[in-house]
Structure 1
Amino acid sequence: MRFYNSIINPKLVYSMIVAVAIAMTVSMFMMFRIGLNMSDHHVPLADAAQEVMTHTTEFHLWFEELVQGDPSVDANEVWMHLDHAEWYANAMLHGGTNHEGEYIPLDDPLLHEEINQVLILLHDLKEIAHQRLEPGKDSAIGSAIDQVFDASYNKAMEQAQEVEETLRQAIAQEVRNLGLILGAVVFLLVSLVIGIGFIFYKQEAERKLLEEEKLAQEKRYRISIRTANEGYWMTDENGNLLEVNDAYCELTGYSREELMRMNVADLEARERADEVADHIKDIADKGRARFETRHRCKDGRTVCVEVSATVAPFDGALRGFAFIHDLTKRKIAEQALADSEERFSLAMEGSSDGLWDWNLKTNDVVFSKRWKSMLGYSEDELENSFDTWERLVHPNDINKAKQAIDDYLSGKISKYEVEFRMQHKDGHWVDILARGRGVSAKGDNGYKRLIGTHVDISERKQLQFKLQRQANIDGLTEIYNRIYMNRKLEDEVQRAIRFQTPLSLLMLDLDYFKQINDTYGHQAGDACLVELATLMKGLVRSVDTCARYGGEEFVIILPQTSPENAMVFAERLRQKVENMVVRYDDQSIQYTISIGIKSLSQIEKQSSEELLKGADNSLYLAKQNGRNRSVSYPMVDPSSE
């Protein structure tokens, strides 16, 4: 135990533990107080949000009684409820004090916006309520103004409830965070106590092992040196060999006894004896050195070796210690790599694809001449660097391109192949297909290099775009065709069902189109179709879809559009067509259209097929009822059939 007392004073350790325990206890108490203060700040605000909903609800209930003419209802008290709701909302924003306590204003910009929205909705509710009390107004339950009043009340309640829920969640999150922090403090305290106890135990065990380890160290050292895979020797200050291991004997072909009679100068093939002596002195002055040289073997040949030498005192004298590593295999591999790189360089020059070679260890990059000319640059105009590639890749594609590299290097994908755009010297974008593979050095776990090609696929991409456009676009009107419309309608129907949003479909047809063809010719009829398509494209939103359904029939898909709004849009379109004049071959042509409307909410079996069928039925009715009109045909009640 005297050893312990020389390293750690037990009284000092005990004092440290007590100090840490007190500090952690104080920290826990302070964190608890902070948590309570935070909760005390938010809880009144959450209660204020509840008061907003309570007074708004009471206002709604008593106001209905007031509207119905209940003589027992005091109008001032009814309006007072709404005033109280507005006061509590303002207190949440700016602070305030009443008989229930003090409300500290919020400092959360997001909640500020939500509470401001509550105030706006309360103001709207008050305005609508005043309108209901105007003389001559039909304010009965179920009337139009009553429905508007109820809708405004519901919006205000929903917004206030959202504010309260946000505050309650903030309180709950603060409590959870506080619990986690307290748990962490307790854990650290326990860990500290256990750690100090472990330190005492570990030091005692190490003390007992120290003498045994010291005795065994020299024995292990000699055994490890003798059996090491690398050559080893120990010399005196003049370079005479005092000890060698089996690996060096095997490397040079000499026996241990032969080597023990030799000097370093006898083995050194590149330096004379006087140069070896100077080298030994230089190493002694510096303390250590690492260098490549060649050693003589017994059979007369020489081997390339790397020597790691150290000079240090040993057994009362200055000794030289050296590990000798055989570089023969490495030199052969380096030469093979140099030959391979030369062949690769020649291949890079002659390939029609752009070739690149990225050294992952040094981050050096080599781009072939074709790689640069593909982008309009000469050999010396682009620097061979990763930054060059990164700068030229399209900003919208760079993350995708880098992710493909990361996924390949991490093993998530088996091959590196990705498409992206790179900027040409003249400014336009070139579509590139990049392929590559990793190259590993023997014995390495990861890749040393990534080598690959860039192929200009701009023409192929343009052809793909042209084919895709031909598959989806009507050749005459330049709007979507029926095939694309069917896919799009199916997607919109599924989206509307999933998110419970309205969806409407318009099917329209040119009135008396055959007469236009017979009177003015088919080319004039085509001109009418093109003008109608152009008009539709100018009227629809970006989320809407116009398509030629066939012949003179067209379809417009209107997402998030109710039946009423669909009718408004249809009438707007119909009137513009009615007032439009098509000029063709010095002839003025006017025509009208009939429009059938169907909304997803109007059909029992919600599917794209039923929606099309319903719109077609509505179009049929528009034709039957005189043409040049818009008809929205409601779903037939099956019980009436």
Structure 2
Amino acid sequence: MFETHNVVMLLIEPESERIIDANKAACHFYGYSKETMLQMDIEAVVGVSTIDGGQKCSEALKKGCNPCICFQRLANGEERLAEVYSPTIDYQGKTLLYLIIFDITKRWKAEKELKFYKHLFENSLNEIYIVHPQTLKFIAVNRGARENLGYTEEELKEMTPVDLKPEFTLKSFKELLEPLSNEEQKQIIFDTMHCRKDGSLYPVEIHLEPVEFGKEKVYAALVIDITERRKMEKELQERNEILNAIMESAGDTIIIIDDKGNVTFWNPAAERILGYSREEMIGKDLHAFVIQDKRLYEAYREAFKKFCLSGKGNFIGKTIEMKTRHKNGHEIDVELSLSAVRIKDSWHAIGIIRDVSERKKFEELLYRQSITDPLTNIYNRRFFMQMLEREIERTKRNRKPFSLIMFDLDHFKKVNDHFGHAAGDMVLKKVADTVKGRIRKTDCFVRWGGEEFIILLPETSLSDAVDLAEEIRKHISMMSLPEVGHVTASFGVTEYRDTDTIDTVLLRVDNMLYEAKGAGRNCVKSK
């Protein structure tokens, strides 16, 4: 039975640690002939070390470790993880170790991967829920959701999504799920409100989809807290309302021209906005004043002839934005609405002009605010994700590589704890200014969050990116900061690969950053 059993078995003489016998399964597993194995000792095959690295496997076995989880060394140099049982038996008048060895490498790797995915689930920045398809009770809820809602894991397992969504009943929520359960849709995205345990509400965007694993089917929901987005939308709306109120109270330019293109009406707002007085403009060719380019002027004259015949034109009945010129020569952004009116059997044009120069500036300001970190005045995470997506598409077209540098200030919490948050803010600004001075205008420098930053480097190879990261690391470490002294940073660097997605390239550079931290900080790691 020993010889033919399909489980790996060895007989070991404890004192000499020699292999007394090895069955066929053992020879096949280790890759040695039986003759070779009988000339070997336990150290040669049974274990490099226990899985925790605390001691040699042979030592653990002799001490009665049962089972002993340790790495096994095969003939081809490969190491496998095994679960080793070591009872003693009497054999030919001797007490021997009877080793029964199970290869658990695949199980160990599977458990390791499962642990990794559980970590991703539990530590996601967004809320994640797994819902039972029949009872609708929560099967699993990650930490982000639990902390935001204020419920314990035990409490949530007795709850359903309806308990968190005051606008839904059980019936209406099931109706929402019908397109998913009927396989009419693969995903549903909707906005609603979530209710915390304390009764407070917050807006969320929910991505809900069915997930199948074997014969099991559940619903998975990725829930994004959009409180900040709603605040921003409200702020933008309020600012636009204020801007529109200002424009309305200021008044718009109203101009009428006859069938010859000459001005017949010119209101006070026109004088204020365009700079020309009524006396200067009445009876004059309007477009001779506002169109400076001769070719454009001739094209306008041709189009105006057609308008005079039919009262129709490309811009009649429409509102367009354009630039015009003030009397003193500077350009003005205006919004022009044109309409046609028939007066005394001829077509006249009415133009309403609104000066939108301030609005344009304001929109640009709002846009800058929406993509900029207010503390460091560098780009924010939202803008970076847009730029990264564009860069990936551009790389696919032109085949030119780009790289990412992610870095994190070492022990930054100590700066805030010892010197205060004002000092911490000063450090972040100084670091941002230092980095801005070392990169190109085409590079995208971003505050990723807290004390973490990321740089997108278009048309940059991995080696060049590593060189730049090392240069920046040195400059940061050499900065002299009032009161604080010196700080250091850890860097991760990677280059985009053809098989990458946004998530994989970000995960890889993040892993490199944590590898740098694990290597003692204040260094650069790349892959």
TM-score (norm 2): 0.46
Structure with the largest fraction of strand: 2
Larger of the two Rg values belongs to structure: 1
TM-score (norm 1): 0.38
